[in-house]
Amino acid sequence: MEMERINANTIRVMLGNDDLAQRGITVLDLLGNHKQ
């Protein structure tokens, strides 16, 4: 996971597939509104 501060109010977070897998999340989970 990489984090970059854009300005005082904004950060950019980049997650790889390994980061998502460690948290039990898939790319599709990030794209839609799901009921859990």
DSSP-assigned states of every residue in 8-32: TTEEEEE--HHHHHHTT--HHHHHS
Compute CA distances 3 → 9, 10, 35, 36, whole Å: 13, 11, 28, 27
Percent of the chain whose predicted confidence (pLDDT) is above 70: 92
Scan for tokens 């950019």, then name that residue: 12
Extents of the domains making up the chain: 2-31
What is the mean predicted confidence (pLDDT) over 11-35? Answer: 89
Separation of alpha carbons 31 and 7, rounded Å: 25
What is the mean predicted confidence (pLDDT) over 13-28? Answer: 93
pLDDT of 32 strictly over 90: no
pLDDT of 36 strictly over 70: no
H or E segment at 2? Answer: strand 2-7
Predicted TM-score (pTM) of the model is 0.58
